[in-house]
Structure 1
Amino acid sequence: MTAEEARTLWERTKALKPVVDSCRAETDMERRLPDPIAAAFMDLDLYRLILPKDLGGQGVDPLTAFDMTEEVAYYDGSVGWNFAIGANSGMIAGQLPPETVASVFGTRQAAVAGSGPPQGRAVAVAGGYRVTGRFAWASGIHQAQWVMGGCFVHDGDERRVGPHGGPVVIHVLAPRADATVIDSWHTGGMRGTGSTEFDLEDVFVPDSHAFMMFGAAPKHSDPVYRLPTSFFGFGLTAVPLGIARAAKDGLAQLAVTKVPAPPRPGLRDQQHVQYVVAKADAMVEAARLAVRNAFSSMWAEVRKDGATMESRARLRRASVHAVETAIEAVGMCYRAAGGAAVFESHPFERALRDVNATGGHVVYQRAMMEDAGRVALGLPPLLPMF
């Protein structure tokens, strides 16, 4: 990407802020991205951001996408989360045949929403699979053109078993029109992500739209498709960091404008507020640097010989630590803001519920850090997403 292309991309990304600000209340009430934000995502060609240029994408490098995600999450956590999901949706293209990539990612409307864990049943039939199941956590499904879900493969009534004795799992892509969206996304945090459930009921999915997410060799030579699954957690980590940075800046702004009743000093002159502003800033900055550095090292390995287990563990622990740090930083800012923190006119209550909601995602669970510890102790990880 040339310097001019990068500058234009950043200008278009920052142009999202007034759109996000104008839709803030609507985002919460509708529990999905409002149409103006969804349209702005299309204008940015978000869903082909990381997709290589020879596949019709923008070919943006992962670190730039990470920084862009943090910027958008600074505006709003839910919008940042959907930005992260959308920016990385081109990652599945590496497992698809060229004709499928062309049909799925041929236009700017190439939004894919889905769920990674196997929650469906794919019965093998001639030319593909008949898929049935309910799939959860489908962030951005309301603006999606395609849905994706993980399925256990069945031959008739029997679950197919792989060479290592475990069940065979595939992921399937189906048109959004074939899915029934379930209105189950009633949450405190991350309301605007629309991360609700959907049903597929005996939907035929051709072989060309089924793929193995874990363990299969990529069909495209771009190094982005040689990244291990720990990359998914890396991309999302920018969201809690952006939320925490917004809470810290919100506290700094409040400290200048809030004047407590005498004899208490102004918020800016209170030492504990000064400490929290500096400490939260240091925490978020250190966490960001650790995540970016860990990914940069792994990215260099991927482009050369492939990611080592040690570099995967480093990125995984840095990502989990970053979200835990962001949660702590937001809590500190919320407490230091005093009574102002409970009002929706300030960023603190939204940041508190949003950043804690990000911590519930599977990539930030305690088990992920435990797996990084297993690698440090010379043991293999237990989870496939490593």
Structure 2
Amino acid sequence: MSTAHHPFAAYEEHQLVHRARELEPMIRACADEIEARGSVTPDVIDAITDRGLFRLNIPARSYGEQAHPLVVFHVIEALAHADASTAWVVMIASEVSLLAAWLPNAVLSQMIGGEEPGGPRCRIVGSSRVMTTAQSDVSGYRLSGRLNFVSGVEHATHIVATFVDFDDQVRFALLPQRAGKVINTWDAMGLQGTGSHDWELEDAFVQQGHTWAALDQPAAEGPQWRVPDRSLVAWIANAGHAVGTAQGALDDLASAASEATTGDSQALRDREPFRLEFARAQAEVAAARAFVQEAWTRAWPSVEAGEPDASQLARCRLANVHAVHASADAVERLFRASGTNAARRSWTLERRWRDLQTARQHGAALEWNFDAGARPMLGLPARRAR
């Protein structure tokens, strides 16, 4: 089948995906430095910003990309093929930007610089963990507290913070990154280059109009904001991250498989047990990718029509969570099959394995996602994530 007739070509070959692929040599060349320094290098951040990849889910009315979920999937997949930490930072920005679009367009545009053609150069990250306390103010709130696991916080322009208001309602606030202080706390076995530090506020003022309640209706127009459960659209990016990381492991290992391992002069590729495990891993990753593509392609027309189909969206959730677990399992399979060289830092496999095991701890991979996917299929009420 030619690319022109491929059913998913419009998404796989989108210009944003090509921009992400063009960055792979640069990102790969910096991957060791990103891991060692604990954050994405400034030149890589600038290159990603220049290509508009930090505004994937910013509304078009604010000169964002407002990309189709499958375009987001393939952009993150392409970046993760190069380096999982870099892709994770862009992934989080895409997810939090989707949430920031609950603000009225005029407010969001004014805050992020999305008032001129060419698109904003903002990088919005944040945390949905309620770690911030609020005090009343005449025209807003004064926030104090600490958000943790704020991936990409060092390079962010804006942060979405979560707090509880005086009516015990969960609210979100969009603030400049400079309103708080970065606390260096990130020390994890995987995704070491994400700089997922804490961000601390101390009596920081935020206008009422720069906040929104979790139960509010989004101000942004577009199908991305018509899905009843906002985490569903956000977390397709996690699926792309996992699939891209796993495919990167497969491709890197295919190049390295001509090497022998300690205690055996026979190259990996010449051993049937290795080939069988490699083939199974490739099939698992390819199948996970195809499930995401098929489920979202089938579900999205009803969302665009303003009539989201609960059973189809349930399949999308299953596809998202399955992709994370299948990809992590596939790389686990490769790691076990590749002998002692798999543990060497000179191979990328051990890093890919660590990165996916860490990524698996995100809410997008938790078991309740499987339950949420199963419920509509069994005639049960849908489960809302958050």
How does the TM-score come out when normalised to structure 2?
Answer: 0.89
**Deviation of 1:311 (Å):** 2.6
- The one-letter code sitting in structure 2 at the alignment partner of 1:226 is R
1:70 aligns with 77
Distance in 1 separating the partners of 2:371 and 2:312: 15
Contact 2:153/2:197, CA 8 A, preserved across alignment: yes
**Deviation of 1:258 (Å):** 0.9
- The 3-state SS of whatever aligns with 1:32 is coil
Cα 1:52/1:347, change in 2 over 3 Å: same
Per mean C-alpha deviation after superposition, the further-off stretch among 198-207 and 291-300 is 291-300
2:159 aligns with 147
Per mean C-alpha deviation after superposition, the further-off stretch among 111-120 and 74-83 is 111-120
Alignment of 1:229-308 (within 5 A): 229=230, 230-255=232-257, 257-259=258-260, 265-308=266-309
Distance in 2 separating the partners of 1:26 and 1:307: 44
Alignment of 1:300-319 (within 5 A): 300-319=301-320
Matched, 1:109 2:121: yes
- The one-letter code sitting in structure 2 at the alignment partner of 1:247 is A
- The one-letter code sitting in structure 1 at the alignment partner of 2:44 is I
1:353 aligns with 354
Distance in 2 separating the partners of 1:168 and 1:378: 31
The sequence identity of aligned pairs, in percent, is: 28
Distance in 2 separating the partners of 1:373 and 1:66: 22
1:33 aligns with 40
Distance in 2 separating the partners of 1:122 and 1:374: 37
**Deviation of 1:240 (Å):** 1.0
- The one-letter code sitting in structure 2 at the alignment partner of 1:104 is M
**Deviation of 1:292 (Å):** 2.0
1:44 aligns with 51
Cα 1:179/1:35, change in 2 over 3 Å: same
Distance in 2 separating the partners of 1:319 and 1:36: 31
Unmatched 5+ residue regions in structure 2? 1-9, 115-119
Matched, 1:217 2:224: no
**Deviation of 1:48 (Å):** 2.0
- The one-letter code sitting in structure 2 at the alignment partner of 1:280 is A
- The one-letter code sitting in structure 2 at the alignment partner of 1:25 is D
- The one-letter code sitting in structure 2 at the alignment partner of 1:243 is T
Distance in 2 separating the partners of 1:61 and 1:263: 48
Aligned residues between the structures: 368
Contact 2:310/2:382, CA 8 A, preserved across alignment: no
Distance in 1 separating the partners of 2:370 and 2:42: 37
Contact 2:245/2:356, CA 8 A, preserved across alignment: yes
Unmatched 5+ residue regions in structure 1? 155-159, 161-166
**Deviation of 1:326 (Å):** 0.8
How does the TM-score come out when normalised to structure 1?
Answer: 0.89
1:60 aligns with 67
- The 3-state SS of whatever aligns with 1:186 is coil
CA deviations over 1:61-119 (Å, ceiling 9, x no partner):
22112111101101011111112223344323431122221123325431111001322
**Deviation of 1:199 (Å):** 1.1
1:81 aligns with 88
1:364 aligns with 365
Per mean C-alpha deviation after superposition, the further-off stretch among 372-381 and 56-65 is 372-381
Cα 1:9/1:365, change in 2 over 3 Å: closer
Cα 1:261/1:132, change in 2 over 3 Å: closer
Contact 1:244/1:326, CA 8 A, preserved across alignment: yes
Distance in 1 separating the partners of 2:14 and 2:216: 36
